[in-house]
Amino acid sequence: MSYSGVMPSARSRAMVRETRHLLFTVTPGAFWIFIFLVLPSAYLMGVAFMTNGPYGLPQMPLSLDSFERLAGFGFLGWSPGNLYTLLRSLWQTLVSTALVVVVAYPIAYYITTCREKWRPLLLLAVVVPSWTNQVIRTFGWMNLLAPGTPLSGLAESLGLVAPNMGLYPSNFAVTLGLVYNFLPFMVLPLYGAFEKLDTAQVEAAQDLYASPMRAFWHAVFPQTLPGLLAGIVLVAIPAFGMYVIPELLGGGKGMMLGNLVANQFAGASNWPLGAAGAILMLLATFLGLYVMRRLGKRLGGGEEVVI
């Protein structure tokens, strides 16, 4: 009797406390996200379904015009330009992310093999370039790759590019810029994964009849997967929406989705089309995240990959 009288009130008091606690901790973040993410996205969504007005500003009535334009249907019939831009964005993302993995993996491993006192310095060396403004660094690459520079001269003499064309502007220059720009975002999570690894496990694998190659494949690589997947997400998503690098290094034929969107809000002045492009980017990103999450759950065994 006394038990049944006491228990619910004690439980409900705990619940009230918990709810209040939750309210205090979650509210500021939720407020932030609502003001700066949900509202603008909703606004963008609304704009995307409106009609383009005289000065590129959205106006009523609601329509699917901008999505049709995005898919390539214009006044002069269908043109593949936008589709190419989308495919180029995907391709650049894929290639540059893959290259970043190839370059970052040995770097991250190498740093973990160094003495402990050198490691922070080496990591710093990886990160420091990203403290400089991205535009300035990209201008740097322009100067390195422009026609007439030693690098371009070398590429020309090897027959890799046509005479006097230079390495910039080109899709190659964009890939290079992306790899350079996003390298730290892959090195850091990979370093974290390598650092957690007990070197005795590599020895244990070799002790258990694994050749050095198989020891890497069966004992080391699977344990770096969480770091690798986190790095891929950190690199691929911003690379997909990148604006500055293709703008400066890509020239007319190096345009990516980010440039398409930016142009609609600035030069070309078609806000609804720009908004539609932004929504497409958002959807593609969500899809990519979903795939990575599924992949992470399958490959990472039990370990949840935090994205």
Partner 1 sequence: MSETMTAEIADHPGIRPVADEQDRASRKASSIEMQGLHKRFGRDTVALDGVDLDIRAGEFFTLLGPSGCGKTTLLRILAGLEEPDDGTLVVGGKNVTEVPPHQRSVNTVFQSYALFPHLSVRDNLAFGLKMRGLPAAERNAKVDEIAEFIKLGDLVERRVDQLSGGQRQRIALARALVCEPDVLLLDEPLSALDAGLRSQLQVELLRVQKRLGMTFVFVTHDQDEAMVMSDRIAVLNGGNIQQVGAPREVYERPLNAFVARFMGHDNLYPISARQGDRLTTSLGELTAEDAGAGDLLLIRPETLDLLPGEVAGDNHLTATVGERLYRGSHAEFRLEIGDTTLQATVNNRGRHLPEVGETVTVVVAPEDLVTLSE
Q: How far is the CB of 173 from partner 1 (least distance, A)?
A: 39
| CB nearer partner 1, residue 60 or residue 213 | 213
Give CB contacts under 8 A, 24+ apart, made by 37-44. Answer: 41/282, 44/275, 44/278, 44/279
Q: How far is the CB of 202 from partner 1 (least distance, A)?
A: 9
d(CA 47, CA 142): 36
Residue 131 is classified by DSSP as: G
Q: Across 50-196, where does the E strand assignment appear?
A: 51-52, 58-59, 73-74, 77-78
Q: How far is the CB of 240 from partner 1 (least distance, A)?
A: 29
Q: Which residue has the tokens 């959205």?
A: 58
Q: Which residue has the tokens 């390598």?
A: 194
Q: Across the chain, where does the E strand assignment appear?
A: 51-52, 58-59, 73-74, 77-78
Reduced to 3 states (helix: H, G, I; strand: E, B; else coil), residue 78 is strand
| CB nearer partner 1, residue 165 or residue 220 | 220
Residues in the chain: 307
Q: How far is the CB of 195 from partner 1 (least distance, A)?
A: 14
| CB nearer partner 1, residue 95 or residue 202 | 202
| CB nearer partner 1, residue 18 or residue 203 | 203
Q: How far is the CB of 204 from partner 1 (least distance, A)?
A: 4
d(CA 261, CA 275): 7
| CB nearer partner 1, residue 95 or residue 210 | 210
Binding site for partner 1 (CB under 8 A): 198, 200-201, 203-212, 214-215, 218-219, 222-223, 225, 300-303
